[in-house]
Each structure stands twice: as C-alpha cells, then as structure tokens.
Chains A and B, each alone.
Chain A
C-alpha cells in the first residue's frame, strides 16, 4: 500500500535559517506528491505539488522536487520567517482521489 514518511519534529530554527523537511514515500503506480501546511488555528492548505518525476513545485519561497530514483519529495526554503511557523504535511495520491499523509512536522521559527 501507499505510505509517507516524514522527518520527525519538532523543528526549531532562527529567522533566516535554511529549512529542509525530509519526506520519502512508498507507492504503487505513479503518485502525485504534495506538501500541505496547517498554520495555527487555521485549516489545512495546499502549499505546493508535483505530478511527475523531476517536477519542482514551488510557492511562497518553498520548493520541493519529485525524485523518483530516491522516492523523495523534500521541502526546502532558503530563508525562513517567523510567519512560516506551522505544521507541514507531506502527502501523495495515486488514484487522484484520496490523499495519504505523513505524520506532520511542527516547525517553529524564532525571531
């Protein structure tokens, strides 16, 4: 079956630090890959996505590249801000319907 493994948190960084949150997956077929973000007190929002190998998703300074050879979709940002503090979820879909999520990584950015 499908599964997603995320880097364990929580992660605490200083403002302007470089961020990497690791995500690897197991899937049948050719999955689409997603990063969702949940800001404090808000609903889950799509941050970025990639639908095929070597695609790079990007949004709000965040990037992730679909690596089929390593079955990975690591999230990166060159310079984090306090406002990036949130829980980040890696997810995949192989059927175009249900999403399979990782367990989430809590990020705290201190000023």
Chain B
C-alpha cells in the first residue's frame, strides 16, 4: 500500500518568505509527527498530532512555525518569514497510535527546504 508522502520534495525560498510543507500519512494512522533534520545532525521533534487530542507543539522552535492537521489525514507545516537557519530536511511520520505503546513510525521521504 501507499506509504507516507510529502510535498514538495524540494523547496528553495528567499529569506522572509512563507512556506507550506504537506504530509499525507498512511490511511488509518491516527498519529502524525513532524521532525526536522539539519545537515549532519539527528532528527529534532517538532510537533505531534494524535486523533482529536490537542497537538503536542513543544518541539516547535519559534512562533514562526505552525502546523495543522485535518481530521486524521493531511497535515501542513507552515514556516513564516523563513530564515536561513530553517534550511533542513523536514520529515513527516505516521503511526497507528501514539500513547503508551510505541507503534512503529513510518517516515516519508522528506521535504528539503533551502532558504537563500
């Protein structure tokens, strides 16, 4: 079946512009996660959605970052007034359920964002 998909695969933007990154999770997966991977570094957690619960936004680095999820489907990560330090690969993952049992997270291919 289809895995997690993300679009665009690459995005080049000018400093100060807003960008939107999209994630389509695996159908039926109630949990959705956004991570950021800077060059040569590990993945940083950004935000987590689980069903109808309030999202865990504790990893968002500044108020320029926001994310929405429509029901249990598509999610959009928005970065306003982009800065050069926002350049990274943004990864989305989904899983059957969050909570106490760590179900496997399935990752998308990522969106490579370059801010010039």
Contacts and interface: CB of A to CB of B under 8 A. Distances in A.
B102 interface: yes
A44 B37 CA distance: 11
A102 B42 contact: yes
B45 A100 contact: yes
Nearest to B107: A44
B109 A99 contact: no
Interface residues of A, number: 25
Interface in A54-102: 89, 91, 93, 95-102
B98 A97 contact: yes
B107 A98 contact: no
Interface string A43-60: 111100101000000000
Contact of B31 (A44, A45, A97): A97
B75 interface: no
Interface residues of B, number: 29
A32 interface: yes
A26 to B, nearest CB: 14
B99 A97 contact: yes
A89 B41 CA distance: 10
Given A43-B109, A96-B100, A103 B45 contact: no
A49 B104 CA distance: 9
B110 interface: yes
A96 B31 CA distance: 11
Interface of B: 3-4, 31, 33, 35, 40-45, 48, 50, 56, 59, 91, 93, 98-105, 107-110
Interface of A: 4, 6, 32, 34, 36, 42-46, 49, 51, 89, 91, 93, 95-104
11 contacts: A43-B108, A44-B43, A95-B100, A96-B100, A97-B31, A97-B48, A97-B50, A98-B48, A99-B43, A99-B105, A101-B43
